[in-house]
Amino acid sequence: MFKLSLVRFVVISTGLLILAGCAAPTRYIDPAADDGAVAMGMDYRDFEKAATEAVDSMLESGAVTNPNGGRYIMVVSRISNDTMQRIDTDQLTKKIRVALLRSGKVVTTTAVGLNGAEDEMSMRARELRNSEEFDQSGVQRKGTLQAPDLSLSGKILQRNLTVGKEQQVEYYVQLSLTDLASGLAFWEGETPIIKRGSNKSVSW
Amino acid sequence: MNMKRLIVAFGCALLLTGCASQQPANNAAFIDRPQLQIDPEVNYFAAVSEMLEERVSQPDGSSLLKIQYAVEARSDADLAWKITWFDNNGMQVKGVGEGYRKASLLTGQTRYFTAVAPHARVTDYQLHLREPKQ
């Protein structure tokens, strides 16, 4: 009886060890040198491609260059996620914001937003005005917040199709940059991301 | 006669030394960086047929470096490319991402790719073409 249990133990242990040995080891991926397999869903490479194309096009068009010098102030408006995936659209907009900021042409305001300020501290800090507990020389004065000139809005769409025995997933990243003074879209862009793969793959 | 030859040779040597490029003060002088870097595998299926650059004027009077290159495909293949941007001192200027952009080529097709520098201070670039493994 004891012998049988020992044999079972050894067999199970060996099996587990073999399985553990076959599993892919966890490793870091360097985004600058990633030749990894493509997923049917949107991954970081897709957001990078969409952001790169958008920023290239925006810079080339001159739409983000203030003719009077200085930087434009941009606010991020609604970027709708019309895909079957749970996407945080900040993955896209943050790349665009960072690149535009680095270009020296655009700065993004975090003091206003469709669902309230991205950083509520701009207003909270002003609540300290007239508080006897705070040195008033450091409290923000009235009329110092800057209103935005440009608004970035957009949508990420998804369409699923069957092509022969394969599945085709189409993503469209559509962006508009609106001049808030005139309400006109000074720049617009669309980046299609098309993937084809096994019908068994899921894109959600 | 020998003395004359010696004087002439010495004079020539001095002249040549004077004509030799002087070591500029900044670090850019030590950079030996090709603008076009093509992996050997790429040469089997494609060739770069054009390499153009221009400065795109901006409304504020500044300008941005834009490059365009063309690739002629000899066979169906996938290509990966990346441009790294540099300022006047040879320092890298970051763009949106660091990854390679993928492109598919069809036999006989000529494809044109463009890229715009992320900042007005960009004056140089390096284009790397490689064959993606996946």
Mutation to test the A interface, candidates B96, B119, B133, most A Cβ within 10 Å = B96
- Please judge whether B96 and A55 are an interchain contact, meaning their C-beta atoms are less than 8 angstroms apart: yes
Q: Does A138 touch chain B (CB under 8 A)?
A: no
**Quick one: tokens of B54?**
């221009």
C-alpha torsion sign, points B92, B103, A53, A159: negative
One-letter identity of residue B47: A
Report pLDDT for B122: 97
Contacts of B57 in chain A (CB under 8 A): 62
- Tell which wins on pLDDT, B27 or B67: B67
DSSP B28: G
- Identify the bridge partners of residue A182 per DSSP, sorted by sequence position: none
Neighbours of A94 (CB within 10 A): 15
In angstroms, the first-to-last Cα distance of chain A is: 50
When pLDDT is cut at 50, 70 and 90, the band that residue B3 belongs to is low
- Given the cut 0.85, state whether the ipTM is greater than it: no
Contacts of A31 in chain B (CB under 8 A): 97-99
Q: Report the residue of chain A nearest B65, measured CA to CA.
A: A60
When pLDDT is cut at 50, 70 and 90, the band that residue A24 belongs to is confident
Neighbours of B45 (CB within 10 A): 18
Report pLDDT for B97: 87
Q: In this model, does residue B116 exceed pLDDT 60? A: yes
Please give the mean pLDDT across all residues of chain A: 91
Question: Are residues A95 and A175 in contact, defined by beta-carbon separation less than 8 angstroms?
Answer: no
Please report the number of interchain residue pairs, chain A to chain B, with beta-carbon separation below 8 angstroms.
67
Q: Does residue A131 sit in helix, strand or coil? A: coil
- Please judge whether B119 and A35 are an interchain contact, meaning their C-beta atoms are less than 8 angstroms apart: no
Q: Does residue A142 sit in helix, strand or coil? A: coil
Report pLDDT for B2: 60
Q: In this model, does residue A161 exceed pLDDT 80? A: yes
Report pLDDT for B82: 96
Distance (Å) from the alpha carbon of A83 to chain B's nearest alpha carbon: 23
Report pLDDT for B24: 46
Please state, in angstroms and rounded to a whole number, the distance separating the CA atoms of residues B74 and B44.
8
When pLDDT is cut at 50, 70 and 90, the band that residue B21 belongs to is very low
Mean pLDDT, residues A131-144 taken together: 96
Distance (Å) from the alpha carbon of A73 to chain B's nearest alpha carbon: 16
When pLDDT is cut at 50, 70 and 90, the band that residue A106 belongs to is very high
When pLDDT is cut at 50, 70 and 90, the band that residue A21 belongs to is low
Please state, in angstroms and rounded to a whole number, the distance separating the CA atoms of residues A176 and A57.
12
Report pLDDT for A5: 72
- Tell which wins on pLDDT, B19 or A52: A52
Contacts of A92 in chain B (CB under 8 A): none
B61-95 pLDDT, tens digit per residue, is: 999 999 999 999 999 999 999 999 999 999 999 99
Residues of B with CB under 8 A from a CB of A: 56-60, 62, 64, 66, 80, 94-99, 101, 114-120, 132-134
A54-69 pLDDT, tens digit per residue, is: 999 999 999 999 999 9
Q: What are phi and psi of A160, to 5 degrees?
A: -110, 135
Q: In this model, does residue B1 exceed pLDDT 60? A: no
Minimum mean pLDDT range among A7-11, A170-174, A192-196? A7-11
Give chain B's length: 134
Q: In this model, does residue A74 exceed pLDDT 80? A: yes
Closest CA to A38 of B127, B123, B102, B23: B102
Please state, in angstroms and rounded to a whole number, the distance separating the CA atoms of residues A56 and A51.
8
**Quick one: tokens of A92?**
């896209």
Q: In this model, does residue A13 exceed pLDDT 80? A: no
